[in-house]
Amino acid sequence: MSRSRSRRGWWLFGATVAIALASLAPLAGSIGTTDAGAAASSTVWLCKPGLANNPCASNLDATVEAADGSTHVVQTADAKNPPIDCFYVYPTVSGQQTVNATLHIDPAETGVAVAQAARFSQYCRVYAPMYRQVTLSGLSHDTPAAGAEAYGDVQSAFLDYLKHDNHGRGIVFIGHSQGAGVLIELLKSQVDPKPAVRKLLVSALLMGGNVTVPIGKVVGYDFRHIPACTSASETGCVVAYSSFDQPPPTNSLFGRPGQGVSLLSGQTASAGLQVLCVNPAAPGGGPADLAPYFPTPGGSAAPWVTYPGLYRAQCMSVGGATWLQVTTIATPGDTRPVESQVLGPTWGLHLVDVNIALGNLVSLVGTESKAYVRQHH
């Protein structure tokens, strides 16, 4: 990409966000399963229907900025009575100075919930638990117990949600980076092997988390019964990808089996495996335009901005790497900001995995929701 993003006002997480949304590669092997009883005794909800100051129920109006610089605002509202739920787990954002964060809701968690989860409220009730994630400072010296503590909170919250809030409703799981890694483990433990819970699965959106399958297959290894989504109307499936604007290098943290956050239970296998890529704009394959949505600074005409016709994406698999290739398709004279590899080529576009395709992901959930309701009611 030839132009880097010239403004970072939508970056809601403060000056440390370039690290905050960054990877869990240092966590490889540290997050495993744990009994729910080892987690917090009660759930602290970051987002939940009816919650006061719910960041996942915020203003969704967006400024649409075209290639010629013209703009207009599109008003969007939360669904009044959506038929499904979303269960969101946020990425590494805590700036607390301990290995594991507390369950206190800080601006970092509120900001990332707005940026990544709020727009899904157009189609689902969003639940997002606080969890004692491994913090920014904890990434360099975490222990297996620290990872297990983070996972245990999410598992406990999910079981709490199933018992008290679900009432047989379909579920979309949404996670990025550490959140995706924790959800991979949750799906392995609490969804994939349990037909009654698996029946509730609308889809799992796992960005920047290295879901792993046998080469050429859509299911296997990480999940035995949850395949990759191959159409927009398929349910009970997973959408997973890591975005890059150029082929991942051999030491890439994402897109290659045996590296990055796919090693949450300590597995080291890579032979015969590949990282899964499903294009959220075209689950059936091939290239398609992305619909990016980014939060804007306070005082803007709308709290969101979108850039139609700026990016196109396609899943690629070359040299042992599988990734979502994001290409700028801007025309001459287009001055809209373009995302760049802030953290370098080993990370690719990890920081914007969600937002660069957020409109596609949200639309996909809308289509899947209708399909799920048709199938189960």
Amino acid letter, residue 148: A
The partner residues of 213 in beta bridges, in order of sequence, read 274
User: Do you know the residue count of the chain?
Assistant: 377
**Whether the predicted pLDDT of 29 surpasses 80:** no
Q: Which two tokens stand for residue 28?
A: 């490889």
Question: In this structure, how many other beta carbons lie within 10 angstroms of the beta carbon of residue 281?
Answer: 23
Q: Tell me, letter by letter, the H, E, C secondary structure of 172-224.
A: EEEEECHHHHHHHHHHHHHHCCCHHHHCCEEEEEEECCCCEEECCCCCECCEC
What's the pLDDT score for residue 145?
87
pLDDT for residue 245: 95
**11 lies in some domain:** no
Answer yes or no: is 67 within a domain.
yes
Mean pLDDT of the chain: 87
* pLDDT reported for residue 130: 97
Q: Does the pLDDT at position 33 exceed 80?
A: no
Extract the runs of DSSP E, i.e. beta strands, from 208-272.
212-214, 237-241, 243-244
Q: Cα(5)–Cα(207) distance, rounded to whole angstroms?
A: 21
Q: What distance in Å separates the CA atoms of residue 56 and residue 111, rounded to the nearest whole number? A: 10
Distance CA 377, CA 358 (A): 28
Is 97 contained in some domain?
yes
Taking CA atoms, 51 is separated from 45, 155, 171, 331, in Å, by: 8, 21, 19, 44
Q: Do residues 235 and 202 lie in contact, with contact meaning Cβ atoms separated by under 8 Å? A: yes
In a domain, 1, yes or no: no
- Please provide the distance, in angstroms rounded to a whole number, between the alpha carbons at the two ends of the chain: 46
The whole-number pLDDT of residue 81 equals 93
12 is a domain residue? no
Q: Is residue 2 part of a domain?
A: no
Residue range 140-192, pLDDT digits in tens: 876 788 889 999 999 999 999 999 999 999 999 999 999 999 999 999 999 99
Q: 367 pLDDT exceeds 50? A: yes
Residue 343 has pLDDT above 90, yes or no: no
Q: What is residue 260's predicted lDDT score, i.e. its pLDDT?
A: 54
Q: What is the pLDDT of residues 103-142, one digit of tens each?
A: 999 999 999 999 999 999 999 999 999 999 999 888 887 6
Say what the pTM is: 0.89
For residue 304, give the H/E element and its range: strand 304-306
Is the confidence at residue 26, as pLDDT, over 60? no
The answer to whether residue 33 sits within a structural domain is yes
Q: Which residue range forms the structural domain that includes residue 288?
A: 17-376
226, 187 contact by CB (below 8 A): yes
- The mean-pLDDT minimum among 10-14, 290-294, 370-374 falls in 10-14
Cα 73 to Cα 1, 116, 142, 300, 307: the distances in Å are 27, 20, 45, 11, 12
Q: What is the dihedral of CA 372, 373, 376, 377, to 10 degrees?
A: -170
Number of domains in the chain: 1
Asked if the structure places residue 157 within a domain, the reply is yes
